[in-house]
């Protein structure tokens, strides 16, 4: 779902729900991929130039950070390879472990 940015310095916010990690046998990886894909599609439909993603599901939902980083990066790369919008995607990492994982994967 997309809403206005309210008091944030963003015009829009795309809301998505990531999966709760239940050991990996409940289609968690596919559900996380779908969260990124649907958010990217919504951003493209609204011709948003830039999107920023947090580390979806890696906090209290317990998704393993290395796997979540790979899924996020793969989803974004695949989408951007075939779509003009968004023109830029940023990953916002709220802890050092995620930051290292993303920096390594994107290097």
Give percent of the chain with pLDDT exceeding 70: 100
Q: What is the pLDDT of residues 58-100, one digit of tens each?
A: 999 999 999 999 999 999 999 999 999 999 999 999 999 999 9
* CATH code at position 70: 3.40.220.10
Task: For the chain, give percent helix, strand, coil, nearest 5.
Answer: 45, 15, 45
* CA dist 85 → 2, 8, 18, 44 (Å): 16, 22, 22, 5
Cα–Cα distance, 107 to 84 (Å, whole number)? 23
Which residue carries 């790369």 as its tokens?
77
Which residue carries 């990690």 as its tokens?
21
**Do residues 3 and 12 lie in contact, with contact meaning Cβ atoms separated by under 8 Å?**
yes
Q: What is the domain range of residue 66?
A: 2-18+27-106
- How would residue 49 be classed by pLDDT, with cut points 50, 70 and 90? very high
Q: Work out the average pLDDT over 53-61.
A: 97
Q: Work out the average pLDDT over 15-32.
A: 98
The pLDDT, as a whole number, for residue 31 is: 98
User: Is 0.85 topped by the overall pTM?
Assistant: yes
* CA dist 83 → 46, 71, 107 (Å): 13, 18, 22
- What's the total number of domains in the chain? 1
| Of 101, 104, 2, 106, nearest in space to 51 by CA | 2
Give percent of the chain with pLDDT exceeding 90: 100
């Amino acid at each position: 779902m997309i809403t206005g940015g309210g008091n944030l310095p963003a015009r829009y916010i795309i809301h998505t729900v990531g999966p709760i990690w239940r050991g990996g046998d409940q289609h968690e990886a596919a559900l996380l991929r779908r969260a990124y894909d649907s958010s990217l599609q919504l951003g493209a439909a609204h011709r948003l130039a830039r999107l920023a993603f947090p580390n979806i599901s890696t906090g209290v939902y317990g998704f393993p950070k290395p796997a979540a980083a790979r899924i996020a990066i793969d989803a974004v790369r695949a989408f951007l390879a075939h779509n003009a919008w968004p023109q830029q995607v940023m990953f916002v990492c709220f802890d050092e472990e995620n930051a290292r994982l993303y920096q390594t994967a994107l290097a």
